[in-house]
Amino acid sequence: MEKKKKKSFFVLMLLLLIISLVITNKSFYFAKVFASESEEKVSNKKVKETKSDIKTLENKIEKAEAYKKSLENKLNHIQGSVYYTQKEINKTKRLIKDTEENIARMEAEIKQINNRLEVQKKILAGLTWQFYKESKKPLLLGLLGEGSLAQATFEKERITILKEKILALIDDIKKDKEKFTKSKEKLSDSKEEKNKLLSLKQAQQHSLLQEKQITQSRVAKKNREIANMRARLSRLRVNLSRMLGKVYNTQDIEEAAKIASKSTGVRKDFLMGMLVVESDLGRYTGGCNYKESRMSSYRKKIFKDICKSLDLNYKKQKVSCPPKSYRGTGGAMGVAQFMPDTWNAYKTSIALHTGHNPPNPWNLVDGVTAMALKLAKVPGVTSHKKSGEKNAAKLYLSGSTSSKFNWYAERVLYWADHYEKLLNN
């Protein structure tokens, strides 16, 4: 009986132990599942928050860029006004100089007229004195019996005629003097008006130059603000990329650019500038899945085929999101941000240069080589001409060289010269 009781007790304890273990394991399992689900929720929440912060910052940058553009347009207008005003100032100065020269010529002319007038007055005075003497002669000659009265009368008439001519000449000289004096006065008045106009234009230019300086200061301040916001945006994108997947090492990117440059002839710094603008040197290669990208059905099919050939899960593989600053869809892949159909068109050439078959858009060397091959097709790029690189950048973005995409090309060429700033961040 005692043995049966002991055996029953032992069986009961064993049963209790088994039940306890089962309960513990289940509790551990459910706790683990709950923790996993909780972590996933936290992770998803952080991704959404980061995406929201990125979107907010992109909107701020877009508004800041638009305001900066308006300031730059204003600056160009001011500069145009400064240039026009300077032309007017130079023109007015030339007119003043011409007027001064005309006044000087007239003053010299008036001086000559005065000299001629003095000469004619002296001649007239002499003739008057001679006329006076000749008028006394007939009586004297009659008394003395010298000469004839007719001869004396003739001399008197000759002197009278000469005197009249001199008087007429003096009158003409006076009229010339009066005319030149009036012209000189008019020119002096004109010079005064031009000096007033010059003072007004100079004051206007001074005001424009002050406004130019203020606007330049505002543009510089806005550039600093945009640079700070872009730095914050870059950090947010890095964080998002870390949450979503791989972040490329910038030194590896520079090495890939060297390899691609040597293989294709495209300038390494130009490639680095393109990589800064396209994917922030690999820090942000995409935050959307293929559905969120709004790719066309045609591109989605090609994207799936690319992923399948590389043994990648197309549902989880990240691509670029739809752009905000211009029309288009997302779906660009890797550091070079190639669209699936564009990648397909280049995959044979990429494989020949890198030896990777099939090439992988998320592989650094493959991606940068693809970019270089596309850029190298544009005339002037492999000879390192800035005009060729500018056109290549616009074609890379939009498929055209329209001036409305100058903003993109200018940004690429800027970073081609300054990408070290990002390497050191």
DSSP notation for 68-106: HHHHHHHHHHHHHHHHHHHHHHHHHHHHHHHHHHHHHHH
Lowest mean pLDDT among 134-143, 305-314, 332-341, 346-355: 134-143
Residue 331 shares a structural domain with residue 254: yes
In a domain, 286, yes or no: yes
Residue 381 DSSP SS3: coil
The residue-averaged pLDDT of 53-79 equals: 88
pLDDT at 99 over 90: no
Question: How do residues 270-305 score in pLDDT, each as one tens digit?
Answer: 999 999 888 887 777 778 888 988 899 999 999 999
Percent of the chain with pLDDT over 90: 33
Residue 266 shares a structural domain with residue 317: yes
Residue 212 shares a structural domain with residue 81: yes
The CATH number covering residue 126 comes to 1.10.287.2610
User: Could you please report the per-residue DSSP string of 124-152?
Assistant: HHHHHHHHHHHHHHHHHHHHHT-S-HHHH
The residue-averaged pLDDT of 237-259 equals: 71
In a domain, 230, yes or no: yes
Element (H, E) at 408: helix 406-418
pLDDT at 141 over 70: no
The residue-averaged pLDDT of 295-319 equals: 93
Cβ atoms of 360 and 332 closer than 8 Å: no
Distance, in Å, from the CA atom of 266 to the CA atom of 250, rounded to the nearest integer, reads: 19
The residue-averaged pLDDT of 339-356 equals: 93
Q: Pick from 235, 258, 278: which residue ends a domain?
A: 235
Residue 176 shares a structural domain with residue 297: no
Residue 346 shares a structural domain with residue 376: yes
pLDDT score for 228? 84
pLDDT at 251 over 60: yes
Lowest mean pLDDT among 160-164, 189-193, 329-333: 160-164
pLDDT score for 244? 56
pLDDT score for 299? 94
pLDDT at 138 over 70: no
Q: How many domains does the chain divide into?
A: 2
Residue 295 shares a structural domain with residue 349: yes
Residue 287's nearest CA partner among 340, 234, 330 is 330
The residue-averaged pLDDT of 328-334 equals: 87
Q: Pick from 177, 206, 235: which residue ends a domain?
A: 235
The residue-averaged pLDDT of 377-383 equals: 96
Cβ atoms of 350 and 344 closer than 8 Å: no
pLDDT score for 372? 97
Q: Hey, what's the torsion of the CAs at 397, 400, 404, 408, to 10 degrees?
A: 30
3-state helix, strand and coil shares in percent for the chain, rounded to the nearest 5: 80, 0, 20
Distance, in Å, from the CA atom of 117 to the CA atom of 128, rounded to the nearest integer, reads: 16
Residue 157 shares a structural domain with residue 269: no
Which of the pair, 109 or 357, is modelled with greater confidence?
A: 357
pLDDT score for 4? 52
Residue 339 phi/psi, 5° resolution?
-75, 150
In a domain, 36, yes or no: no
pLDDT score for 127? 66
Predicted TM-score (pTM) of the model is: 0.50
| Reported confidence tier of residue 229, pLDDT bands at 50, 70, 90 | confident
Burial of 22 (0-12, 13-18, 19+ CB in 10 A): exposed
Top mean-pLDDT range of 58-72, 130-144, 323-337: 58-72
Cβ atoms of 295 and 330 closer than 8 Å: yes
What radius of gyration do the chain's Cα atoms show?
49
Give the domain range for residue 190. 54-235
Question: How do residues 19-65 score in pLDDT, each as one tens digit?
Answer: 555 554 544 444 444 444 444 454 667 777 877 887 888 888 889 98
Which whole-number Å values give the CA distances from 423 to 27, 80, 278, in the listed order?
49, 39, 15
Lowest mean pLDDT among 241-250, 306-315, 325-334: 241-250
Residue 259 shares a structural domain with residue 386: yes
Cβ atoms of 303 and 330 closer than 8 Å: no
Residue 333 phi/psi, 5° resolution?
-115, 140
Q: Pick from 235, 265, 290: which residue ends a domain?
A: 235
pLDDT score for 67? 92
pLDDT score for 49? 84
pLDDT score for 28? 42
Which residues partner with 333 through β-bridges?
Answer: 338
Residue 225 shares a structural domain with residue 327: no
Which amino acid does the sequence have at 44? N
Q: Is the dihedral of CA 372, 373, 375, 376 positive or negative?
A: positive
Counted residue by residue, the chain has a size of: 425
Residue 338 phi/psi, 5° resolution?
-85, 140
Residue 229 shares a structural domain with residue 253: no
Question: How do residues 170-189 score in pLDDT, each as one tens digit?
Answer: 777 778 778 878 887 888 88
Rounded to 10 deg, the angle between the 386-398 and 406-418 helix axes is 120
Which of the pair, 33 or 267, is modelled with greater confidence?
A: 267
The CATH number covering residue 326 comes to 1.10.530
Average pLDDT over the chain reads 80
